[in-house]
Structure 1
Amino acid sequence: MKKRIKITAACTASLALLLGLSMGAPAMAATGGTSPDARQTVVSRYTTTDPACVASVTAAIAAGDGHASLAVCTGTVTLRQSTARQVTKADLRQARSSMSTESFDELSAAVTDGVVRHKNYSQNFNNITDSETQAGDFYYNGSNVWVTGPFLGRVGSHNCTVDYAVGWTVAREECSDIGTPTQRDLRMQWGFSEAFGPLSGDKIYTIHFNSYGSIWQ
């Protein structure tokens, strides 16, 4: 019978970084709109160690599990974003054929006012045994923020991927976009199981977005 451990990564500090230059996150497919500068800069990074995981792994080691390692309990979570890009009239013309008249008129007015902006984002968990990423793009206009739900004829994207896993089987359990028109909360949850031992558990990571383009974790 496998022992369950849970690792939850969430930081409640309200970090507001509206513009940035970026290096680094793995490229992810975007389903909406024109891509902003895909280079990304770090918004925040922290190292997390889960006490419940430490207790479970320590017990497994004491019970003779030669494959158990405390390394699975500690990892680094990094949030990145791209420079904001304004949606332009050229973008509007390109998207015209796929939009309803109502959506086109609404987006046209917003583009004329210069208020619709677009960013790429990524959040990565990384440690010695495995790495997972949620990434994509989102839109905002000061009143609304949206990711996978279409608004004003534009739609962003949210992708959850396993980058690598060594000694563990990692399966996606959730890749969700919930919230309100003024704040979206993106969450990835992974179920993982030790390849040659009794340990299994979950990892949960969340990103928050607001209508002014700020993101935090």
Structure 2
Amino acid sequence: MHQQWTYRLAWMLGAFALVILGAAAGRAAQLEWAAAEPTVGVPLTPIADPGTPVAGSNLEQLLQERERAYRALIAEANARLEQAYRQIQELSAQPVASSPDAPAMPSGASVALSPSRVIWIAMNAAPGSALMKEPELVLFQGTLAYEVTLDQGLLYIDASTGQILYDGLPQVVQTAPSAVTQPRITVGKGREREDEDRDDDD
């Protein structure tokens, strides 16, 4: 057992040594190859100290021109923003004109119900139906009402009281359950009991 561990350790050390030698040989070959490559004849200019000005350059002038261009762009953007802000203020100060197809509000009419409350009323009137679009305020026979469009039909609900003014849903006819007669069970004298029951019914 001890000998197996010795062999394994020797194999691992040998593999480790081979990996290290291979890496060292690869690095040495890479350095030799880089040194043997001819360098392209690009003249290297010395990097000047940032504190000293570069002779013959218009660097400061270029920086000032760029600064002026940036300031002009910022001023133009600010002017556009100010103009848009003024337009928004002017539009918000104007009264909202009603559209020509919007219903004229009758005098004294008020909207006491919210659209969500109207939806609740409509769903209770037509259980199991689905809302097709949001309720809209309309004039229905001179009364301000919500028009509720369901998948089963239309409902018009008074906007102030919640009363259903028009029910365009299909009417469901419920029939009374038919009376089912059950046979009578007779024990013993069947004929006499049936005769007695008939007499009682008369």
Q: TM-score, normalised by structure 1?
A: 0.19
Q: Compare the two structures and name the one with the higher helix fraction.
A: 2
Higher relative contact order (CA 8 A, sep 6+): 1
Higher radius of gyration, 1 or 2: 2
